[in-house]
Chains A and B, each alone.
Chain A
């Protein structure tokens, strides 16, 4: 089910508030809004919510047999990728960046934020369907910039379908096939990357794959391999 509302502060904040109030949110439910007044991204960064773009959140209720919940970052990224391919003139320009950024020709097309509350994981995603907000020092893209003008509601249903299928596969077959498919559409092994770690340090190296839990493996110039679980990843910054 997709509920569409004209405006809210943040769809993620709305679902978290409903969980905090004791409400159970069914899986496959999406809260979608025409615009957000307080959209947010990683580390409290604002997510500029321009009308016509997609902003929505959903919720997963973890089961005891589920894979580690952080791997849902890869699940939602793949679902977004699959929903975007049919509405793009040049889907070959799409690429995923660790762990869940969606890029078009290297510029950010979608942002994803997951927030955990007890056994529930709220997953929010913003996709620049018709306009690309201008953000200093960030390359931002929109699909409309390529000549297409996708319909928000059609995209919402496509994303919900893709995510439902990806979650089912995540539960049924685990992480190995998930990571294989993620790797097939992400920055290739060997890509030069720079990671701005959360402690302020920067690590430069080349991408050598994913750890068993999905952590980024980055080989530095001395041949040491860093296992990174958080940080801002920049492509091609060696």
Chain B
């Protein structure tokens, strides 16, 4: 299929996948399944956020930033039947509201239009707005406010119209 024939959201997801350094991304829900892979190996667990040993301070970073792939079960499990997952575009901190103390972008039960702002993801002072890819109703918020999320992790379940 030519790139131009791909749905915009899928093309964007592929570009983000290529840029992310992930080896594999596997989304499975109901009859829908998507596997993006640079390898034949199965996905591995995400990297721990705390390491027991000190690295060498002089250790040179790599040119690219390989990140652990998101486990497929994060997306496949925990979603109400028939809902669409809104996933994190990258690793980072999940914010339900635009600033501390402000009302959340959306609440469970709220109707949203395609493109509506749902949350922010922050990594190293880059704030990325996550938007709904469908019009529908927010059925579940799957992550606690200010929690760390992995790239591809399901954040919201939205029941499309």
Contact = CB atoms under 8 A, between A and B. Distances in A.
B49 interface: yes
Given A64-B15, A198-B146, A44 B99 contact: yes
Contact of A229 (B19, B124, B129): B124
A43 B100 contact: yes
A118 B19 CA distance: 13
Interface size class of A (residues with CB under 8 A): 35 or more
A226 B20 contact: no
Interface residues of B, number: 47
Contacts of A119: 12, 15
Contacts of A114: 125-127
Contacts of B146: 198-200
A73 B108 CA distance: 33
Interface in B117-161: 122-129, 146-148
Interface of B is mostly: loop
Nearest to A188: B57
B125 A112 contact: yes
A211 interface: yes
Contact of A230 (B18, B50, B60, B93): B93
A112 B124 CA distance: 11
Given A64-B18, A225-B51, A227-B50, A208 B129 contact: no
Interface string A43-85: 1110000000000000000101111111111000000000000
A224 B51 contact: yes
Given A44-B98, A68-B90, A116 B65 contact: no
A173 interface: yes
Interface in B61-109: 61-67, 89-93, 95, 98-100, 102
15 contacts: A70-B92, A70-B124, A70-B126, A114-B127, A118-B12, A121-B126, A175-B63, A175-B64, A175-B65, A176-B60, A198-B93, A225-B50, A225-B54, A229-B93, A229-B124
